[in-house]
Amino acid sequence: MITAEHLTRRYGALTAVDDVSFTSEPGRVTGFLGPNGAGKSTVMRMLVGLSRPTSGVARILGKPFAALPNPARHVGVLLDAAAQHTGRTGREILTLSALMTGVERRRVDEVLQIVGLTDREAARRVGTYSLGMRQRLGIANALLGDPEVLILDEPANGLDPGGIRWMRDLLADFAGKGGTVLLSSHLLGEIERVADDLVIIGGGRIVAQGSKEQLLARAGDRGLEELFFELTAGSARQEVVA
């Protein structure tokens, strides 16, 4: 389980995140939805201890992220697929992660197969990868420790339609085995397909949350897209409907 309790993050006079509370449950995919700049990434950074809340508490599996023993064995995180050493090969990056976290080396081959990176691709330097390949490598790294929780920020960026469908099936399978998934995106259509629950953020505040069925019922004949635009007024339409 992931819990955010009254998370607030201020940068001087700017309040980037304002009193955010929600829960992501085991066995379900929680879609964290909002326009670009709404505060999604800041919340996720607070969840995994990369940003300190001005106030509020974030817990994963009942503890702050930093208090988890060997966190990568419990929580798989992908916040920025581009933040990978471009001079190393994909296999080297995964092997180093395995050594640092005490994961058996055979797990590297397993996750490469899961994400669809071939031996030849894994032997290439990351600097030659497309964004979609970097996303797959980042997801492989998140899965490496066989975690109970996945926290993924915009993982569909750079994936082609086949890759997006693959990711959708991967996350559904992970949740189906009891895992907890928190998935952020500004792509409303993709989140609607994969998520069981939705948390919508706009201007740093939660503007709606609940099961997908509850929010669809609230939207009624208008549809979820129109409800989203109503709740996050001022966002650019083209940013969230692709």
For the chain, first and last CA: distance in Å?
30
CA angle 7, 167, 146 (to 5 degrees): 70
CA angle 178, 179, 185 (to 5 degrees): 135
Model confidence pLDDT, tens digit, residues 37-70: 889 999 999 999 999 999 999 999 999 999 999 9
Domains of the chain, each with CATH number or no CATH: 1-69+182-242 (3.40.50.300)
The pLDDT value recorded for residue 172 is 94
d(CA 34, CA 26): 22
Asked if residue 125 lies in contact with residue 86, where contact means CB atoms within 8 angstroms, the answer is yes
pLDDT at 159: 84
pLDDT at 94 exceeding the cut of 90: yes
Q: Please write the tens of the pLDDT for every residue from 119-152.
A: 999 999 999 999 999 999 999 999 999 999 999 9
pLDDT over 90 for what percent of the chain? 75
Contact 104, 141 (CB under 8 A): no
Beta-bridged to residue 14, according to DSSP, are 11
Total-model pTM: 0.91
Who has greater pLDDT, 231 or 25? 25
CA–CA separation, 47 vs 51, rounded Å? 8
Q: Which residues pair with 182 in a beta bridge?
A: 30, 151
